[in-house]
Structures are given as structure tokens and as C-alpha cells.
Structure 1
């Protein structure tokens, strides 16, 4: 059978039929930019220099030469036979992996959340178009329902999630997280109030805001949250939007891949996935990307995430990869159940599981109480990311900041905040820091144990910060940078008993109440509000219960354990207004430090 694709996009009354020929390319930059449907595997993440178990899954492109529309009735549900089904990793083994990730990765500061997948494997006898028809008529709320046949492989899916789209110069992303299973006890309102589900969505929102900070000129504006109701489950979601001018293939590259299928921070999440999965992902977590141009000749992109998708080989081997997002509140049993639920939509279409109707009717989502719960989620979020972005202020006009990124692109969000205050900002990786020609240096956040003597990143950051302090250069540490600074000032570092990943907290910041967001498993501690350090007196804002240091400041330096740039930090901009003036007032000529 020649290559072709069937696409149904949310709300459409027809199916798009695409035909053409397939080319295989090595990189995203080689994807033909017009009238192309690209099947992008997870292994493409290596283009960003990130780790993965390379399974050689090809980047295949359907170069479109024919298009037509057909009514939905042209693809009725059909019959297929599936035999020998089961997960490649059984429930007990998957639960053990969940336990290891919670203990060894989130617990040790390697990140705030991680997605670990497993695969339902079986043999299918039947027509893929019949399975497509069953999904088309049996699922609901999918962003795309699709069938893609490249000649060597066939994918059939109903993805709920737009990864990224570009239309009329507007770039949009659509983070979805939190899962309410219709078959379970408890109500929708209980789900909406569940801290685990709330924090899970806000963490992926922060992570996709990091991506939008790179691909949109002024970062992303947050709209929502909303509910996305499907046949077996209901998700919560936000929409992010921002103006950008990048080539759409570069947009795809900078957004590989969604935190809802990887974790955060992304670079270290890829390391964690490789450590614990120990096998390739194929196309799970990748994207299906439709590239083209509008009537005015402007580039367009529409790309759903490849989840809730069945991969069918020419011999009938069936694979349905699914994953669960592991956060500090996760339980092994809960995440095992989530993978079963996420597989249910595809498996029901193939006749392996009972249809959604047997689980009872879906919940009523358009009620005043539901709308109120959703609206309340934004009450303590940062208005900087929710409101229309105002022109840059002149608060610090003419002053400059250099941000050193330690493998967490929260720094891209911080750069947008600083530019909104009138600062000139440069951003560089800790791997290639040269002349820090700026009035202020920010040593930024990143994963890992700040006290690990064998970690070359930590050794470099300690050397960099020591050089800045010794030279009298103004320096601000954020999260990991704050921990490094704290250690050099003589404060002991401790691993928290429970990770502070994705936690919003009210704190006393040098006499002012502030709501801020934390992403950390380590903290400095102090028994006093004052410290005499080798670099001068230090004022400390700390938790009165256990002495955890929230922030510190001294002559020409300051540090914050939290993230003022996070959407969780309602008072993030106010914190920067408080901390920056005394630091910038001490700026001296830059030195060659790095």
C-alpha cells in the first residue's frame, strides 16, 4: 500500500486524506518546509544534545502531493482481532521503577517530575482503517485522531494534546496534565482539589513556559485552565500563546519534547529516562508535525504529541506505549493505574477493553462549582505570565545582566522578566562562559546535588562564584546558584526530608510577605538571621521551623532558593524589584571570570 495519512482535527466535520511519497531525513532542519507530514521519533532529542537510548527509529516525512476531504461516515468502526496482549513491564516491576525514581531522582534533586513509560504489546489481525474508525467514533476530545502509513509502519492514534502550532505568526502550546478516571470513585471536584493533580499541571505549565520563552519574542501568555473531557478520563489543561518569527522547524527543535512525556528540567529528565527505561521509545513522546504555508505565504505548523497511539508493524505486531508523570505526591499504585487508564482508549478501539459506556457516564464539567475551582487555581499565580505583557519598563534601563544557565531553562523565563524591567540580558550555558561583561551576574538554577565533590558542574559553579565574590562583582544566585553561594558563605547544605518540587509557599522575605515557588530537594540552613562571612555580613531570610534559608543578601551579593520567574511565584517581579537595586548600585568594571 502506498504512503498516506488520515487526519481528523478537533471540531472538524471531515477527515483529511493526504497522499504522497515518503523521504527519510536525519535532522529536523532537513524536513521539507511545505506540505509535509513529519513523523518525528523520540530519539531526535539527540539534536539538542540530550541523552536517549538510541533505537534508530527514522524521521520519516510524507511529502504531500494529494489532498482530499471525506465525511466522517466514510470511516465507520470496524472489527479487528487482538491476541496475546500484556504490558512489556508488569505492574510490580513498573511500581518498583516508580519507587526508584521518587527516591533516587526527585528525592535527590534531579528534577521535579519525570515520565516513565511502559508498552502494551499484542498481535493484531485486521485493517488499521477499521481501528481508526473505531477511534474516530468512539473517542472524544482528541486534538487529532489519525492514521499514518509510511509504507513500513502504521500509527493509529487519538492524541489529546497539541504540542506546538504556528499560525499567523502566533505560536501556541497546550500543556495537559492531571488525570481523572471516570471509572473510579470520587467526584470531579475532589480531583480538581487534589494537590497532586494541581501541582502536576502547574509544573508542566512552568516547563512549557520555559520553551515559550525561547520560541516567542516576549515569552508565553497563559490562558486557562480548562477541562479536556475524553471517553475514559478528563484532563486539565492550559493554553500558551506568544508571537514569534523562528523557522517552524527551529520551533520544533527548541520544543523537543513536551514535559508531559519527559519531565523537568528537560535535559536532566532525558538522562533519568535513559537510566530507568533502558530501551528506546520509538515514536512515543515524539510529534506528528504538519508543515505548510497559509494563503499569504506565511509558514504554518500543527503538531500533536504522539501519545494514545498504537504502532502497528507490517507483520501485525501491536505496541501501545503509555506513561505516567511521577511527582513528589505520586504513589506506585496510582501511577500503575494511570498507565492502564491511558492505554484504555486505544485498547477499547481495538476491542481489547470494554468501551467507555461500561464505565458509566462521563462527569458533568460545565457547572458553576467546576468553573469556580478552575478559576481559583490562578489566584496565587504570577500575573506576569497570565496578563497581557506590557512594554518594557525603564526601571533599570541601561543596566546589564549576564545569566549563567546550569541546565535549567527557567533562565529563559527569568530573562524575559528582567527585560521587562528594562535590563539588557545575555544568557549563556555554564559550559561555555567567557567574559561576563555585565553589571550583574546571575548564577542560575539546575539539577543535582550542590555538595557533590565529584560533579564537574558543581565544581565549576563554585569556582565561578568564588571568583565573582573575590573580585567584588555583584552576583545573584537562584536555586542551585543560591545553594552554591550559601556554601561559600559558610552555611551548611542539607537534603530535605521531603522534596520541595513545585511547591508554592508564603514566606517572610526580609520583613515582607511574599508568595513564591520552590523547585528543590536541597537547602542551606541557618540558626540565625545574621552571619559574618568571608565576604562580609549576611542577612538571612529563613524558615523559623527548621532554619531553611529562603534567601540571603550581603554587600554585592544575594541568593534566593525559590524561582522568582516561576508561574508559582505570585510575587516574583516584586522580589526582583527588592533585590536588584542594591546589587546594581555596586556594579564595577567587568573582569574576565569564567
Structure 2
């Protein structure tokens, strides 16, 4: 509905003390939300209904520390899960809101980054060497903060910055200001993390950052960026990570569309859209998708651990979400729709201190000083808009000189979006040639696949690629469950028709509880001669138990696509590994007989199935294994033997163009 006079309404907000939020998301209006603030502990506590059972609209600021709900680690600053329970909503035309909001610049004191450029470059080097280089994950986001002092009434500062972002920062998904007692957040987030409406869940992974050169972006300069291997692989990796989340909350796993361009004032990003069906409560959807890999890394759980090692201060609300829960009138299923942008490109004001956190996605190809520049570029949109740094007054693209006889008063045609340039559109579309068709097509499993009637147990080693694997297994007809490594029992391991021992971060040679548990899963299935498929980390564990050496790669294969020969058939597969099993180059790619399961360091000639009452850790077993290995390096890509198969690559990844075909081949062998 429309409300009172905008000038009086916004003046009341500036002079008052009540909490409020302003949201601009449709390009035409500014939504003014007022109500009461309630802080809660858990996402499940967000008050979507009142005491009488009436559905309420709620805007929740979800801090990064909420990852504790999923058992992940963080620097806990106690930032509240703050809910504005909305009593009144007024829609104000955008132009009228702009005319009514304050516009005088807000002076800043002592402005600058809390971490110097050289120091941040050093952090980048350490993360690449000590984390990515040791198998802890594919990519990680480490932040730094632009900070300054503010000696202006906080509500006036919030309204001023909101107006400035509305005027100067284009391409935002939400432009917003949330003002509550003691805490203010004002931002222009480019990225919708997750939304749910009418049973359709949407995620919007955005990655790859093109910083506009002086004079503005052109098709030629953008094309050079789009050809970058680093930027392309960075986007593919975050799409993989968000597909893990989609597969956890959607019955049909999630379908990819795109890629598209997200053009902003100083930056252009590349993005995909993921969509799937779900009947979960939106609070559960939000929990299962905490938080976006574009602001954390992958795999998600280990990314949180890496962030805690390399960031010395808590994140507050940075990389959390602003989640708007709106009643939808449904009598069955979810009663609220969800719209939740990521809290990035956001300025926070607490106790007279401005903080603008920004981060760069660090991958194996990262250049430390390039990542320093990326943090400056990401901060510049917000800082330029609010006047903390000079605004870029150059046009978005060079403007050709007008003909001498041109009418000087004739209107100038607006610049065509770069995404509509035919060469740019072709470059974007060509990216999909590398991707798995499975994830680009409708894919609701119907249980009629080639392995219908059989059961599969997927053991999760702390990489939610297992959710994508499980989705593919269901497509192949397998009745599939996922169990965490710390919870799986011997009885479950023994009962399944097929056990899929999953991927995970870390060094497979470690003696951690997780590695020991995964070794036991692999060992038990081998000794009982029960069908086993081992993936990535578990493939390495299997190779080790078969007597094949393990070694770190000279360069990690995190997000690398390779075409490899797997038992006489070429397959395009995505790899996310830092370690590899390795045989002598050229000795054999097939028919290799290796010494068996290493528990006591001795080989055995046992050939009969292991009685299930016997502890496999006390026995050894000699097994023949057929090996598919690189003829030059000896790196082992896959193995198969009696009732087992394994693969180093991730057949579930979008980078595995031949993933489903290869998965079916390996399962057929194991079964």
C-alpha cells in the first residue's frame, strides 16, 4: 500500500528512536518497514507467527556466527540474530524518497584499511601455500575492513548513505538500511544468496570480479577478463559449492541457467542462477545454505576453520544475510516466502565507528597483489557512493565524438549493456560447453534408474559434494542415505548394497579421527568383499590400503577439468585434489596387482570374504586392482577390482561433463 507524505515519513524516521528498515529492490519504490526488534538464538526461533498463530512478516539480520548451528567454528563476537517484526509497511516512490532523504556528505576521520596492503598480500600467500597447497580446500575468502570514525547522528548517517547508494551504485539486488538500537547496516548487495517462493528455491552464485578500467568498461576489456582461466574456474567452483546446498534442500537437486553478467558502477561480475523445488520451512532452507561460498570458500565446513585461522577478528554480520520472511497465505506447506541477499558491500556503524568489510576469493591461481586490488575494487563501490573516496565520474564506456552537423540538443542513446554485445554473449555461452549436461537439464529422480531396488550408503567426510553424489545415485535408481563419518556404524556399513566412501579435505596420511574413520569404512567393505565406490579422499585412502604410494601434487588440482582415459574410455572429469595416488609412470595402466590392506604392515593371501564378526583392522588382504593412471606422471585417476571401484575426480561436479556416464560404469563394476 502507499503511505503518508514521504518527506514527513522519512523526517519522522530521522528524528525518532524507533527501529526501521528501508529496502529498494524493484527499481521503482523504497519499502519502509517499521516494527519491534526481537533478538533470538537460533534460526528456528525467528518469530514467524505471533501468540495467536497469525503469520508475521520478519526481517532478520543473520550474523556469520550463526554457522555454529551447523557445527562449524568461528570467532564468536555474540552478534545477535536480530529480527525486526514488521507492524507496518509503506511503499514510497523511489524519486520521492530520493528527494526527501538527506544528502549532505558525512565526514569521516582516520579512514583506511585495518590491514595494510602488503600484510594482506602476505595472508594471500600463506593461504595458498598452507591451506590450498595442503588439501584443505579449493578456495577461501579472507576479509579486511575499511574503517573510519563518524561524528554524525547515526540515523542521519544511515539515511544519507542509503540515498547515496541509491543514486550512485547501480546493479544492486537490494539497496537497504537497517537501523536498530546500537547497530546500523547500510548496503548495496549485488547477490541474492537464497530465495524461496511458491515452492521454488533460487540461489545466485556470483564470482569473478572485473574492475572497470579508467574510462569505463568496454567489450574488448571485458572479453579479456572473460577469457581468464582463474576467473572462469572461480565461478565454476562456487557454482559447485552452491549446488551442494541446493541438492540438500531441493528434491530435484537444482538446475543451472546462465551465465550472465552483473554490471555495477565500478565492477562487473559473472553469475549463474540455480533453481529447484522444495517444501522445507524457509528457516530450514536458510540453515542448510549457511553461508555462500562466494564469501566463505569450499568445502564450507573447512572454509570456516581456515577463516578462523587467518582472520583475527570476528566477522559480525559480514557474509551473513538479511532475510525477509513474508507471509504468502498458504494453508499447506511453507507459510512464508524468503528473500535473502548476502550482507556484502555493506557499511556498518556501531559506537561512532564505520566498518566496510570486503574479501577476495583465493584460489590456486591467485596473484597476491591482484587480490589486494580486488578488495579495493569491492570496497570502492560503497565507499565512493557514500563519499569516503572520490566518486568515479568517468562514463561507463568511451563516448565517440558527435558528427559536426549533429544536433547538440538531441537526446543521447543510453549505452547498451555489455552482456548484449554479440561477442560477449558468445564468450559467456561458450563456458557451458565445458559443463555437465546433467545439472543443466530438468532432473527430478523417479527411482527407475539401472540400479533400482538397491540401497546406497554415502559416508560424508566433511565435503557436501556428497549431497550432489546422493542426488545422482537416486537418479540411477539407488535408495540413498547420507551419514556423517562420526555417526556411521559398522552395521550400516555392512547392510548397504553399495557404500560410497566420500570426498573430504585434508591429508589422507593423517591420523585424525576423521581419517581413521574413513579408513575403517574402506577397510571393512574390502574385507567383506562388499561393493564399494571410493571418491577423491577415499580413493586415496583405498590406494594407500592397496599399497600404492601417496604424494602431494606439485600444483593442486582444485577446480581443474581434465580429459583422462578411464579403462579405455575418455572422460572429461573435474578434479579437486591436492594429493594423489601414484604408480611408476609407464609400468602399467591396467592389470596391476598390488599388496593388500595395510593394517599390520604385512600382506596376506586371503581370498575368501571376511566374516562380519571379525575386525577388519586386525587383518590384511591381497587384492588385484586395475589402475587407470597418467602415462607420464603415474597419477592414478581410477581403480577397480573385485567388488570395488574408485575415482580421484568428482563425477558429481559441474566440471565433470562425463560424470554420470562414468559413475554408472564404476557402480556397475562394483556391484
TM range (shorter): over 0.9
Query: Does residue 109 of structure 1 match 2:128?
Result: no
| Counterpart for residue 605 of structure 2 | none
| Counterpart for residue 7 of structure 1 | 23
- How many Å apart are 1:414 and its aligned residue? 0.5
Instruction: Tell me the matched-pair count.
Output: 581
- How many Å apart are 1:75 and its aligned residue? 2.6
Flag the structure with larger Rg.
2
Label 1:483 to 1:160 Cα distance change in 2 as closer, same or farther (>3 A).
same
SS at match of 1:110: coil
- Tell me how far apart the structure 2 counterparts of residues 295 and 345 of structure 1 sit (CA, whole Å): 38
- Tell me how far apart the structure 2 counterparts of residues 394 and 540 of structure 1 sit (CA, whole Å): 27
| Counterpart for residue 78 of structure 2 | 56
Query: Does residue 428 of structure 1 match 2:483?
Result: yes
Of 404-413 and 125-134, deviating more is 125-134
Report Cα offsets for 1:195-239 as digits up to 9, x if no partner.
000000000000000000011111110010000000000000000
- Tell me how far apart the structure 2 counterparts of residues 21 and 448 of structure 1 sit (CA, whole Å): 46
- Tell me how far apart the structure 2 counterparts of residues 190 and 389 of structure 1 sit (CA, whole Å): 34
Root-mean-square deviation (Å): 1.4
Query: Which residues in structure 2 correspond to 1:17-416 (within 5 Å)?
Result: 17-33=32-48, 34-73=56-95, 74-76=97-99, 77-126=103-152, 127=156, 128-183=158-213, 187-296=221-330, 298-313=335-350, 315-358=351-394, 361=397, 364-389=418-443, 391-392=445-446, 393-416=448-471
- Tell me how far apart the structure 1 counterparts of residues 445 and 452 of structure 2 sit (CA, whole Å): 13
- Tell me how far apart the structure 2 counterparts of residues 29 and 187 of structure 1 sit (CA, whole Å): 47
Q: Do the aligned partners of 1:182 and 1:359 also contact (CA within 8 Å) in 2?
A: no
Q: Do the aligned partners of 2:255 and 2:442 also contact (CA within 8 Å) in 1?
A: yes
| Counterpart for residue 449 of structure 1 | 507
Report Cα offsets for 1:160-183 as digits up to 9, x if no partner.
000000001100100000000002
SS at match of 1:116: strand
Of 227-236 and 344-353, deviating more is 344-353
Label 1:499 to 1:69 Cα distance change in 2 as closer, same or farther (>3 A).
same
| Counterpart for residue 574 of structure 1 | 661
- Tell me how far apart the structure 2 counterparts of residues 377 and 231 of structure 1 sit (CA, whole Å): 25
- Tell me how far apart the structure 2 counterparts of residues 183 and 17 of structure 1 sit (CA, whole Å): 36
Of 297-306 and 485-494, deviating more is 297-306
- Tell me how far apart the structure 2 counterparts of residues 49 and 296 of structure 1 sit (CA, whole Å): 32
- Tell me how far apart the structure 1 counterparts of residues 394 and 113 of structure 2 sit (CA, whole Å): 23
SS at match of 1:47: helix
Query: Which residues in structure 2 correspond to 1:424-573 (within 5 Å)?
Result: 424-434=479-489, 435-436=491-492, 437-452=495-510, 454-527=511-584, 528-529=588-589, 530-533=591-594, 534=596, 535-573=622-660
Unaligned 5+ residue runs, structure 1?
A: 585-594
Report Cα offsets for 1:131-156 as digits up to 9, x if no partner.
10010011111000000011221100
Report Cα offsets for 1:99-141 as digits up to 9, x if no partner.
0000000000000000000000001244210110010011111
SS at match of 1:94: helix
TM-score normalised by structure 1 residue count: 0.96
TM-score normalised by structure 2 residue count: 0.85
SS at match of 1:357: coil
SS at match of 2:442: coil
| Counterpart for residue 610 of structure 2 | none
- Tell me how far apart the structure 2 counterparts of residues 79 and 215 of structure 1 sit (CA, whole Å): 45
- Tell me how far apart the structure 1 counterparts of residues 648 and 397 of structure 2 sit (CA, whole Å): 46
Of 318-327 and 380-389, deviating more is 380-389
| Counterpart for residue 52 of structure 2 | none
| Counterpart for residue 588 of structure 1 | none
